[in-house]
A = this chain, B = another copy of it.
């Protein structure tokens, strides 16, 4: 039984930011009149991936986000039009 060895390197998963993005994306997707599966099909992303993103279960890459923006036909600045809580020093 190997004792769940905890690595010391810290990977960042920005839960707050990922959640904010999820909510914002869903809002825009609906605003633009897409279902998850339409968005998946037209963007070339998998449906499971769209769902994972909107439920904030993963931390998508820029390429993925760019594909979403292109398909939804919105500006990146629109897709990122939400506030991130500032870093505490």
- With a CB–CB cut-off of 8 A, which chain B residues contact A8? none
Q: Which of A17, A60, A73, A82 has the most CB of B within 10 A?
A: A17
Interface size on A, residues (CB 8 A): 33
Choose among B44, B60, B84 the residue that contacts A69 (Cβ–Cβ < 8 A): B84
- With a CB–CB cut-off of 8 A, which chain B residues contact A44? 10, 12
| Complex A-B, nearest 10 residue pairs according to Cβ-Cβ distance, in ascending order | A76-B80, A14-B63, A70-B87, A17-B66, A77-B77, A59-B61, A80-B80, A14-B66, A59-B63, A12-B63
A18 within 8 Å of B by Cβ?
yes
Q: How far is the CA of A13 from the CA of B80 in the complex (A)?
A: 20
Against B, the Cβ 8 Å flags (1 = close, 0 = not) of A35-62 are 0000000001100000000000001111
